[in-house]
Chains A and B, each alone.
Chain A
Amino acid sequence: MTPIIEAPGETVDPRAGTNEEHRKKLERAWSRPGRIFGFFTATTHTAIGMRYIITAFAFFLAGGIEALLMRTQLAFSNNHFLSADRYNQIFTTHGTTMMFLFAVPMMEGMAVYLVPLMLGTRNVAFPRLNAFGYYMFLFGGLLLYAGVLTNTGPDVGWFAYPPLSGPQYSPGKRVDIWAQMITFTEISALCVATELIATILKMRAPRMSLNRLPLYCWSMLIQSFMVIFAMPAVMVASTIMLLLDRTVATHFVNPAAGGDPLLYQHVFWFFGHPEVYIIFIPALGFVSSIVEAHTRRGVFGYPAMVLALAGTAFIGFGLWVHHMFATGLPQIGESFFTAASMMIAITSGIQIFCWLATIWTGRVRMHTPMYFVLGFIFIFVMGGLTGVMLASVPLDWQVHDTFFVVAHFHYVLIGGAVFPLFGAFHYWYPKMTGRMMNETLGKIEFWILFIGFNMTFFPMHILGLKGMTRRIYTYPPEMGWDNANALATVGAYIIAIGGILFIANVLSSRKTGAPAGRNPWDAGTLEWAADSPPPPYNFEYLPVAAGRYTMWAPAEARAVVTGMRDDRREVLVTSIMDAEPQHRLVLPGSSFWPFLTALLVGGGFVGTVFGFNWYYPTAVAAGVGLIGWFWPKAPRDLRP
């Protein structure tokens, strides 16, 4: 039976509760076994997405504690709260945690949760791969922290340049753990990227042609392509070149053995710069969603917004050498990267212009998410300005490896990603939990975070110009760096207070928040058509797009899909460009295999930290896992 799109008006309004029996059947088809065992079989995107979000947040807290430790150490001159070796481990672990275990997985997790809802479908295209990716991420994080807790935390900076990270200068297992942790997290990011691309291109609600795709989904589509181009590079750098140099004495990047350390820098930054945009582009999507809902209109200049996202993504691959200006490459070659670094300001400018135009000409409702958006715009513009300054070679020579750079990238990362993310938490919390967060507390959180943030990081610009280099564990009083450092440390504790208030708000609102209903913000996109929190099947009847903002279309224009089976996990596959229904696809149900495969592969990878030979049993174990994973299923699920 082909799916039928019911003519508008003829069917049940997707927002009205209907048909108890239909609901029950769906519930049965989409639920997972209970108990502890069942927990490890979950494959619905809401469950996995929520685990990503919670786990990544836990790592954010760990990274935050490390930040506080560093700031405490740097509060005044000649402090000996941390030893030099501890300090090295802590800044490396902080940077590594924030980039690989918090920022990227958090953005992936939000997308895993939100994208299928926004597209009006029931799950991601590859549910088991999704679960596998999550466990790989979790195990990678646990590996790093197992190292940290046994005094084997990495201590060579979050980019682990050889020769320092090579076998001569970093004996022991610290760097190996770091390098293999990268493998885990990048596998996870690649899993999410592939499934998001497939989901966005092939599982959109009928009639959601490309010109109706929500901007957040555009941002995730583009970000996913960036992941696919960028992540393999860092795996080549860390897992192949660095780790093999260390474990089996290959000669890729080890100068003592005739290798080329600059090669490592090139390959690492070919990933490393796009990484910033991999974190940042989803945040731009959050901002668009929040602005739209709070002005109750589409963002001004939709094509320009998509262009800006795509432009940021591709120019993002032409900037990496700006991290290597101090390495003595030919200047005319470097100048191409300066030029590209300047050009990327245009794409950011377009977006900021479009948001401001939307806000300016609309009636804005100032809820907490909007505060975070405005805070983001302010901080990000500042971070962008210092970035353009750094893209000029002479200034970069002056402040390279100083706290000016630390200030710059925290403005971009926190302003550009963490502020929108907190906006997104406040904005989608009602969807995820069914309750509203406390508004007053939310606004207090914002001001505390905003003030604390500027107090921490603004003084670092000055410290950098005064010559304070990054990654030093203490400094003598004659340098005159004490005041600015003390201020930054106080700021860091203020940020921590803001974080604690946020957590308190999240926890208390779960119990006492006002019930949210389906669409508390009166937003336009399809995730707001589902119950809050969404049931495991998301929608009772799959929605049909009635424009870019279906929820704003008049009720009689909103249709739903009927004729889908409700006794198995069916989704609708639609065409790439115009989202015409093509066929019904049965997605796999709950499965233990993704967890088991991740456990086997992950265990093997941990072994490879200690010896290359572990790759052989790992390959066999992965094979065993995949055989179980792809074992043919009972025929009921396959009958048409």
Chain B
Amino acid sequence: MNHTPLWASESFWKKVAIWVTAGSFVLLIVLTFDSMSKVQAGSRRVPAYSVINQKIDYRFDAQLNRYMPVIGGDEPLFDRPLSEAEAEALVTLGKKTTQAKNCINCHTILGNGAYYAPDLTKSWLDPNWIDAGNRENLMLAFLKNPPGNARTYGTGRRMPHLGITDEEARGVIAFLKWMSAIDTNGFPHNFKTLYAQEE
């Protein structure tokens, strides 16, 4: 009497394991190709780097029932319109600076990272900058000397000196502005931008 039912048979489960794993993996590869094609810079979801020449806002879309980036008219960064190549170079400098300075180990970026400091996903649009016209200058001054410009909201938490140069700070601002234009499927929810506050 050595009959093993199928559900208890080692060789049956071995086959199931192989097929399930292979099937899932193939599906993931297919989905990855599709996702990659939809998130290249310049796609509908992830705008081209030159979007930093334009006004960006983030509003509730009643039809989609979620918050969506709204790309508006001209509003070049530091009043200097950039070509696509120049914009990409500037955002690249900014992105590399965020990695070199380890921003993500205090902040979250697209909601991922550390929880010691605010999320940076829509920081370009934060009402904390008060006046859209003066925002770039405030950000520049802040990044170059964070403790000196700290506004800790009563927590006592300050951003440290990171030795960010003028050029790097401009890059970081460009990166943050570009990132705020990415369609993040409505995250963060209920976010009232600088412009919404001004109205």
The answer to whether A and B belong to the same complex is no
